[in-house]
């Protein structure tokens, strides 16, 4: 897959075997017959238009979804009726895995732009994982990655200064685009400033101020929703504070454990 290309919706193909995102959604090394089995259970839905729901909180869980193009946000509602954004989902990512244990969706998913997804009925996917080596392990790995991402996000909200939070958000997006073969330094940001502020736990005025500050510092070039990263190294250094805080917490846990031992 060519590197450093800008996301183009018309480059996404139809069949699972020929999809440019297949290696991200599903494990590599599947035999041709296994590919046909996997392709046979996938439902191609009509595109989800901007503002439409893919699923809502409380809906019965029946399928997981692979994002082919576009982007979606997942969110839940607080007790006072406000929406709390949980995550942003990009092409090549699976959605709905968090509903497996409760058998119903615990959050809502809404398209931020015209979005194409593949629907994988979970019962058929689960049965197929018994036939295809590595498929079940891959699904568990994806769930583990979601947990790791959520843990880091909670650390960001609880511990990092606001400028580090925005830097971490941008670096995370850049790395996810790079993994998918797209440009890691130039991309469109489908989330609004309000949504970014909600996700990162800050005021929208703070987000706008930080984007201006990052531009003045020569870190970014911003034109409406188009983001161009000019100094990735500095942003990555700011992002690394999340990992440093996690490491410090682990060391503190070890010290506390040692001191409490007889």
pLDDT in tens, 69-115: 999 999 998 888 889 999 999 988 888 988 988 999 999 999 999 99
For domain 9-133, the CATH architecture is: Sandwich (2.60)
Q: Within the chain, which residue ranges are assigned CATH 2.60.120.10?
A: 9-133
Per-residue confidence (pLDDT) for residue 42, from 0 to 100: 82
Per-residue confidence (pLDDT) for residue 156, from 0 to 100: 63
- Is the pLDDT assigned to residue 12 strictly greater than 70? no
Mean of the pLDDT values across residues 215-236?
95
pLDDT digits (tens, 9 = 90+) for 22-67: 655 666 556 667 777 777 888 877 899 999 999 999 999 999 998 9
Per-position DSSP letters for 40-51, written without gaps between them:
HH-EEPPPBPTT
- Is the pLDDT assigned to residue 250 strictly greater than 70? no
> Which element (helix H / strand E) includes 104?
none
- Exposure class string for 90-124: b at 16+ Cβ within 10 A, else e: bbbbbbbbbbeeeeebebbbbbbbebbbbbbebeb
Q: What is the CATH T-level fold of the domain 160-260, as seen in this structure? A: Arc Repressor Mutant, subunit A (1.10.10)
Q: Within the chain, which residue ranges are assigned CATH 1.10.10.10?
A: 160-260
- 8 Å CB contact between 112 and 73: yes
């Amino acid at each position: 897959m060519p590197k450093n290309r800008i996301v183009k919706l018309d480059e996404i193909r139809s069949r699972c075997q020929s999809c440019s995102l297949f290696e991200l959604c599903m494990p590599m090394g599947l035999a041709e017959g296994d590919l046909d089995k996997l392709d046979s259970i996938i439902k191609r839905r009509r595109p989800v238009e901007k503002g439409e729901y893919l699923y809502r909180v409380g809906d019965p869980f029946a399928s997981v979804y692979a994002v082919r193009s576009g982007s979606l946000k997942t969110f839940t509602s607080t007790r006072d009726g406000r929406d709390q954004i949980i995550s942003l989902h990009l092409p090549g990512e699976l959605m709905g895995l968090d509903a497996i244990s409760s058998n119903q969706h615990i959050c809502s998913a809404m398209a931020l732009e015209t979005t194409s997804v593949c629907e994988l009925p979970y019962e058929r996917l689960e049965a197929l994982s018994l036939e295809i080596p590595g498929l079940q392990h891959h699904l568990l790995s994806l769930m583990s990655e979601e947990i790791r991402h959520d843990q880091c996000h909670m650390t960001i909200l609880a511990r990092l200064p606001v400028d580090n939070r925005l830097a971490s958000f941008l670096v995370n997006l850049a790395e996810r685009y790079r993994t998918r073969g797209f440009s890691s330094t130039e991309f469109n940001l489908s989330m609004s400033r309000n949504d970014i502020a909600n996700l990162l736990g800050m005021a929208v005025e703070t987000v706008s101020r930080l984007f201006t500050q990052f531009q003045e510092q020569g870190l970014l070039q911003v034109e409406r929703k188009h983001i161009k990263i000019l100094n990735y190294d500095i942003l990555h250094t700011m992002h690394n504070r999340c990992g440093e805080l996690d490491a410090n917490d682990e060391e503190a846990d070890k010290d506390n454990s040692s001191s409490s031992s007889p």
